[in-house]
Structure 1
Amino acid sequence: MRILVTGTAGFVGAALTERLLARGDEVLGIDNHNDYYDPSLKEARLARFASHPNYTHLRADLADAAAVNRAFEEFKPQRVVNLAAQAGVRYSLKNPQVYVQSNLVGFVNVLEACRHGNVEHLVYASSSSVYGANRKLPFAVEDAVDHPVSLYAATKKANELMAHTYSHLYGLPTTGLRFFTVYGPWGRPDMSPILFADRIVRGEAIDVFNYGNHSRDFTYIDDIVEGVIRTLDHVARPDPAYDPLLPNTGTSNAPYRVYNIGNDQPVQLMRFIELLEQNLGRTVEKRLLPMQPGDVPDTWADVSALRRDVGYAPNTSIEVGVKRFAEWYRDYHHVES
């Protein structure tokens, strides 16, 4: 297939693109290479597949409607995976306008291009952050998500609403995936695994928020990519059982779906740090601090809907995943044993 992927210099986007190319798809990647974190990591990710004969790269911003429309008109994608977004909960407290341009303006440009390009299926990244102040665990797609606690989370909830509008009005099949704490080789340096690893290697104390009582549904990158591909291949359809008197927030009478994509195995943050220390061969001091604004205490994905519909079955244990991550980290950063 011809598949357009946005955010191909990003963590999930690069891993997904490698898999799509390996199975024979033709991919057009779009990324703006912004400097939210070290662009050299983005270039290193791209270098793994940039010369592949079935890959074309476009350096552009999704907020540039003309560039997006031109890319769609020239490439004529059959399916689209939108992973490009301004990520990060804490950064959204300081730079809200960036989130509006990337996550809202950029997303509506993608929706418009999909609509006019007769795209067969749009899969897009949402986030576990949409569950916000919810405390019922595990988080299920049937739960209400009306109390976001960061602007980042609000933009992701908005993406789901925008997608439903296009599914309803124009019959555009859309599927949103609520990602739960993705980690692994080539991960984002603003996320806890690399932040922790950096400090462990330097022998510096780690700041552990919520006094170490956080738990996260850490999900290994290979499991995430497998779920994205299975979802991409399973085009959203109207739910024949949808009841507008008792609406299910994960489905619709339009070709629309929302799923959780996680490991369904929450891990205490202190356990994750302990595994990192073991695999990096050092221990460091932990500074226990209060919870930060915009954070939530726990995440846990109910992935039963994704299991049922596409056969999603994450199978990378936290022990195996952290070991692989630490091996990559040592190699990429030239850390001695």
Structure 2
Amino acid sequence: MATIVTGGTGFVGSNIVRELAQHGHQVVSIDVAKPDAMALRYLEPQSSNVTWVHGDILDQNTMDRVLEDHEIDKIVHAAVYTAIREDIERSESRRIVSINVDGTANLLELARKAQVARFVYVSSGGVYEGLGSQGQTLTEDTPLHPRQLYNATKYASELITHRYGELHGFEAAAVRLGGPYGPMERATGHRVVMSTLHQWTGKAVRGETIDAETEGYWDFTYVLDIAAGIRTVLDAPSLTHEVYNLNRGVQVSAQELVSAFREASPSANINLRTGNGTDMPQSSSSGRIMDSSRIRDDLHFEARYDLVAGLEAYIQWRREFGYTT
């Protein structure tokens, strides 16, 4: 039996493929991009359990070919157009909606035709856009009203996924990711804005100065924990809920982030600054916290990497891979 992973050559997707293949899944990765040298190297130890399909999730011929060639048991839908800047929203509006919503519908149709056991939709903490203030906890039951196209399409796809599962008899769950960082984040055709910690670790391995904000709050989650959490949801004997937050659930201030980075990389040169021109392009969470207790209580999953351990592992991976971008 095969497990489909869409977006399998990308940042989060390649880590999902790796995690599932390590744990015995026969993974079929569908991606509009062919696996580059970095993806092939990263997944080389698991290559016998991975089949690469070069195709577009918007192309019905690709979907038909996958259905014909593989006996599909489960699907993880991670392919997405990550467009979080307004200029990209404006110039790529139709494409964002096509990939993020129409693409989801195509994968759900594949799930229906294949009569899969479970479908996991990889969503985002971005669905909580505009909600929360300092110290406020956001649960999976918090009412949502996202406005940005990326966030709105993620939430729309969650709703469509749940209803498809109800109508067509397969288990469906959405997993909302919080602040992923780590190996395999790089610029791709559908990911153009890099995370704060991608920029910081890149500068650290290049020996460049990092310009850090003095204000803000974040909740970063190491991508290996993200992948392990998704596998937990995919392989659980049963699911009590339709939505799970997947994050560390630990808020860090700008000062705490700098302190953790200095502990992980003592040689890093970090300047504290206020205002524009820093290496922290992503807006902070305004101090809000995504509650991660549901996945812990239901499925007994907890993130293994605290911030220092995650940063140490990420920097070590960059150096071993020679990835300095």
TM-score band (shorter)? 0.7 to 0.9
Alignment equivalent of 1:44, drawn from 38, 43, 56: 38
CA offset digits 1:262-307 (Å, max 9, x no partner): 0011122343244335516132434423798986424422111111
Deviations 1:208-262 (A, max 9, x none): 4xxx43212111122212211110012665x6xxxxxxxxxxx4xxxxx011000
Q: Distance in 2 between matches of 1:114 and 1:156?
A: 18
Unaligned runs of 5+ in 2: 188-193
SS at match of 2:48: coil
Indicate the residue corresponding to 2:18 in structure 1.
Answer: 18
**2:59 equivalent in structure 1:** 64
Please, which of 305, 313, 323 is the counterpart of residue 312 of structure 2? 323
**CA separation of 1:18 and 1:287: change in aligned 2, threshold 3 A:** same
What is the letter of the counterpart of residue 231 of structure 1?
Answer: V
Note the aligned Cα RMSD (angstroms).
Answer: 2.6
Contact 1:133 1:296 in 2 (8 A): no
Structure 1 unaligned residues grouped into runs of 5+: 240-250, 252-256
Mark the CA change 1:43 to 1:272 in structure 2 (over 3 Å): closer, same or farther.
farther
Structure 2 CA distance, aligned partners of 1:118 and 1:324? 39
Whether the aligned pair in 2 keeps the contact of 1:150 and 1:294 (CA below 8 Å) is no
| Aligned-residue offset at 1:66 | 2.1
* Structure 1, 281-290 or 121-130: larger mean CA deviation: 281-290
Contact 1:213 1:297 in 2 (8 A): no
TM-score normalised to structure 2 length: 0.85
Q: 1:117 aligns with which of 103, 114, 119?
A: 114
Q: 1:320 to 1:292 in 2, by over 3 A?
A: closer
Contact 1:85–1:102 under 8 Å retained in 2: yes
2 CA distance for matches of 1:293 and 1:49? 29
Q: Pick one of 199, 204, 207 that aligns with 1:195.
A: 199
Q: Residue 130 of structure 1 aligns with which residue?
A: 127
Normalised TM-score (structure 1): 0.82
In structure 2, what is the Cα distance between the partners aligned to 1:198 and 1:53? 31
**How far apart are the structure 1 equivalents of 2:157 and 2:283?**
19
Say if 1:173 and 1:235, in contact at 8 Å, map to a contact too.
no
SS at match of 2:290: coil
1:154–1:236 CA distance, 2 compared to 1 (3 A): farther
Separation in 2, partners of 1:222, 1:314: 9
The 1-side partners of 2:160 and 2:48 are apart by: 34
| 1:266 correspondence with 2:268 | no
Q: 2:211 aligns with which of 197, 201, 206?
A: 206
Q: Contact conserved, 1:126 with 1:179, CA < 8 A, in 2?
A: yes
What corresponds to 1:2 in structure 2?
2
Instruction: Describe the shift of the 1:118–1:192 C-alpha distance in structure 2 as closer, same or farther (beyond 3 A).
Output: same
1:129, 1:153 within 8 Å by CA — same for their partners in 2?
A: yes
Partners of 2:247 and 2:292 in 1: how far apart? 7
Q: 1:105/1:305 Cα in 2 relative to 1: closer, same or farther (>3 Å)?
A: same
* Identity across the alignment (%): 25
2:225 to 211, 223, 231: 223
**SS in structure 1 opposite 2:183?**
coil
**Quick one: distance in 1 between partners of 2:217 and 2:90?**
22
Q: 1:321 to 1:292 in 2, by over 3 A?
A: closer
**1:152 equivalent in alignment to 2:150:** yes
Residue among 300, 303, 306 paired with 2:292: 303
Distance 1:88 1:236 in 2: 33
Query: Aligned pair in 2 of structure 1 residues 139, 334: CA closer, same or farther (>3 Å)?
Result: closer
User: Number of residue pairs matched?
Assistant: 308
- Please state how far the C-alpha of 1:199 moved relative to its aligned partner: 4.0
Partner of 1:288: 274
